Amino acid sequence: MSIKPHHTPYLKVCGMADADSLQAVAALQPDFLGFIFYPQSKRYVGGRLPAAAVRALPAAIRRVGVFVDEQPAAVLDNVQEYGLDVVQLHGQESADVCLALRMTGVAVIKAFAVGEEFDFTRLEPYVGCVDYFLFDAAGAQPGGNGTAFRWELLQGYTLPVPYFLAGGIGPEHAVALPGLSLPGLFALDLNSRFETAPGVKDAGQLGRFFRALNPKNQESYTDGL
């Protein structure tokens, strides 16, 4: 019998669009760093972050490109140019598009916007076509809205696809997150709640948050809230 070791969720910091902040956040060794390839986003990497700075990241940090209803050929061009390990599809991409991209060897995250309720049967066609789901709060923008959905909706999750929990996760959640037990939870996604400006992350605040996810450090963290 094998016993799977319990681990705290992996950490993804998304929406990196500033070279200095990229270096500071990379030094914290997150598991994933996300880059937005959606021109309408305030965190769009185009013209802000050289591809070479992304390619130069340590291999232990997985580079995630976030796309919204982009042509697969354009997604793959950016995979090459930026050395992306993972593509996060944050629009209405079909299961077929996800599978076609995955077959090229890049890992695929399919994002879904969660409102007051969520119909989990929508996910079924994607099983086997993606590596991960990402559940984000529905809002005015496709992502980066800074609001949370009701995480309890995930308590009955039964699909064999691990997921990223996203949407409005902020410094105050470090207290509740270590005790959060959601089936299938793989990683936490942090973005606008840790910014000093769009695309510029507060590495000090992120570092305190990372440390606080270790329950042993909780008491000193709440002193600082």
Ligand X SMILES: O=C(O)c1ccccc1NCC(=O)[C@H](O)[C@H](O)COP(=O)(O)O
Give me the residues that bind ligand X (CB under 6 A), please: 14-15, 34, 36, 38, 41-43, 66, 68, 90, 136, 141-146, 166-169, 189, 191-193
Instruction: Give 149 or 157: the residue with its C-beta nearer to ligand X.
Output: 149
CB of 147 to ligand X, least distance (A): 6
Residue number with CB closer to ligand X (4 or 190): 190
Shortest spacing between CB 66 and ligand X, in angstroms = 5
CB of 110 to ligand X, least distance (A): 12
Nearest approach, Cβ of 63 to ligand X (angstroms)? 13
Q: Which is nearer to ligand X, 21 or 191 (CB)?
A: 191
Q: How far is the CB of 142 from ligand X (least distance, A)?
A: 4
Distance CA 156, CA 174 (A): 23
98 vs 103: CA distance, rounded Å: 9
**CA gap 182, 70 in Å, rounded:** 31
Closer residue to ligand X (CB): 103 or 204: 204
**CB burial of residue 149 (10 Å; 0-12, 13-18, 19+):** buried
Length of the chain measured in residues: 225
- Those residues whose C-beta lies under 8 Å from the C-beta of residue 133, and which sit 6 or more positions away, are 109, 110, 111, 112, 123, 126, 159, 161, 162, 163, 164
Q: Which is nearer to ligand X, 22 or 166 (CB)?
A: 166
Phi, psi of 114 (to 5 degrees): -110, 125
